[in-house]
């Protein structure tokens, strides 16, 4: 099979397209012929060597995608050849064929395309647990969303609105601000503005009930924009490491700092199936809009990585075998 691989850590130029052996499935796995593969910043971090990678080169990136079942293991009973499945946390996805553990195979309804499934699963399941588990959005909540035009950001905006919250988005440009408004943000401010003050203004000088913090370096400012007794959910650090948090500040203001990681939530097939089913139902009903992805051939993965790192894209980037 063909795969996008790299032999050493580095920039996008280390990626190359080559023939490697087909995977051999175990009794509890299925073999999936990939139709679309999601590209994520985690792939960039792994390519650079920021995340630990087990084994020896050639390394294969990719954890998210969708395709058609080509073969099933002896112990697999809930999936058959020809089924459409997706996954959010299976390694070595940047290839024509992927071995997928049975408990990580997410059924894809006929109304959902491979491209949509590969655009929504990782980021959609992240937005789902952030709004349902890390902090349960309530009717009337003021919700501050960092990077509100990004993949997770756009979904946080829409799900918050579905749950009755009011969204304050933060973006780095006027163009991205328009994207955030298009998906439903009630207010959008730019990072180069005094946004903490503006958040206070639109919340009657109270502050946000919850802040979804994915930048990292803005954590201290996020607390300043949070109401007394409010919550900051820290789930990413795309802009750099956060400053240490003084627990005395949390005590004095009754604020909460909580962390979020998808892998602590997707602990069973049932968790994957129930959460993805709701995402798919929202999409089919037209309640959740998924921006059209930008697609590259798998062999052109270098160009896809360059675009992702440029931070000029607002929607999902896909690799197509």
129 assigned to some structural domain: no
28 assigned to some structural domain: yes
110 assigned to some structural domain: yes
pLDDT 10s digits, 300-312: 999 999 999 887 7
Whether residue 111 sits in one domain with residue 16: yes
Q: Around 108, how many Cα atoms within 13 Å sit in the side-chain half-sphere?
A: 27
Whether residue 277 sits in one domain with residue 254: no
pLDDT of residue 237: 86
Residues of the chain with pLDDT under 70: none
- Spell 98-113 as b/e; 16+ CB within 10 A means b: bbbbbbbbbbbeeebe
Whether residue 45 sits in one domain with residue 109: yes
DSSP for 164-215, please give it: T-EEEEEESSHHHHHHHHHTT-SEEEETTS-HHHHHHHHTTTS-EEEEEE-S
Whether residue 149 sits in one domain with residue 88: no
CATH number at residue 283: 3.90.180.10
User: Is residue 301 within 8 Å of residue 15, measured between CB atoms?
Assistant: yes
Whether residue 116 sits in one domain with residue 91: yes
**pTM to 2 decimals?**
0.92
312 assigned to some structural domain: yes
| Overall number of domains in the chain | 2
Whether residue 244 sits in one domain with residue 289: no
Final residue of a domain: which of 233, 259, 285? Answer: 259
Whether residue 18 sits in one domain with residue 102: yes
Whether residue 159 sits in one domain with residue 78: no
Whether residue 270 sits in one domain with residue 298: yes
Q: Around 104, how many Cα atoms within 13 Å sit in the side-chain half-sphere?
A: 22
130 assigned to some structural domain: no
pLDDT of residue 130: 97
In whole angstroms, give the CA distance from residue 135 to residue 221.
19
Whether residue 80 sits in one domain with residue 152: no
User: Is residue 185 within 8 Å of residue 165, measured between CB atoms?
Assistant: no
133 assigned to some structural domain: no
Helices (H), the chain: 41-48, 114-129, 151-162, 174-182, 195-202, 219-224, 247-253, 269-284, 301-310
49 assigned to some structural domain: yes
pLDDT 10s digits, 135-153: 999 999 999 999 999 889 9
Final residue of a domain: which of 208, 239, 259? Answer: 259
Final residue of a domain: which of 259, 280, 306? Answer: 259
In whole angstroms, give the CA distance from residue 250 to residue 257.
8
Whether residue 250 sits in one domain with residue 271: no
| Tokens encoding 50 | 């920021």
In whole angstroms, give the CA distance from residue 139 to residue 155.
17
Whether residue 277 sits in one domain with residue 240: no
Q: How many other C-beta atoms lie within 10 A of the C-beta of residue 321?
A: 21
Closest CA to 258 of 221, 223, 232: 232
Host domain of residue 44: 2-121+266-320
126 assigned to some structural domain: no
- Residue 47's Cβ-count burial label (10 Å; 0-12, 13-18, 19+) is buried
Backbone dihedral angles phi then psi of residue 205, each to the nearest 5 degrees: 65, 25
pLDDT of residue 55: 77
């Amino acid at each position: 099979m063909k795969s996008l691989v790299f032999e050493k850590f580095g920039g996008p130029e280390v990626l190359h397209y080559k023939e490697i052996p087909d995977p051999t499935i175990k009794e509890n796995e299925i073999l999936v012929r990939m139709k679309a593969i999601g590209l994520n910043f985690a792939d960039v971090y792994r390519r650079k060597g920021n995340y630990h990678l087990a084994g020896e080169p050639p390394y294969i990136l990719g954890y998210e995608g969708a395709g058609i079942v080509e073969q099933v293991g002896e112990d697999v009973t809930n999936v058959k050849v020809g089924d459409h499945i997706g996954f959010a946390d299976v390694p070595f996805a940047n290839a024509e064929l992927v071995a997928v553990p049975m408990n990580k195979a997410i059924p894809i309804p006929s109304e959902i395309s491979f491209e949509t499934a590969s655009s929504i699963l990782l980021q959609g399941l992240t937005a789902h647990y952030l709004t349902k588990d890390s902090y349960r959005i309530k009717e009337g909540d003021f919700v501050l969303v960092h990077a509100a035009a990004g993949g997770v950001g756009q979904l946080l905006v829409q799900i918050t609105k579905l749950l009755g919250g009011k969204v304050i988005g933060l973006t780095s440009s006027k163009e991205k601000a328009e994207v955030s408004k298009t998906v439903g943000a009630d207010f959008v401010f730019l990072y180069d503005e005094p946004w903490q003050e503006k958040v206070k203004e639109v919340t009657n000088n109270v502050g946000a009930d919850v802040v979804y913090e994915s930048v990292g370096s803005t954590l201290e400012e996020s607390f300043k924009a949070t109401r007394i007794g409010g919550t900051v959910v820290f789930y990413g650090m795309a802009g750099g490491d956060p400053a240490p948090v003084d627990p005395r500040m949390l005590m004095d203001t009754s604020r909460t700092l909580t962390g979020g990681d998808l892998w602590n939530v997707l602990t069973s097939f049932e968790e994957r199936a129930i959460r993805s089913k709701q995402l798919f139902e929202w999409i089919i009903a037209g309640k959740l809009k998924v921006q059209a992805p930008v697609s590259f051939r798998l062999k052109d993965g270098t160009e896809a990585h360059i675009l992702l790192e440029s931070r000029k894209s607002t929607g999902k980037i896909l690799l197509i075998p």
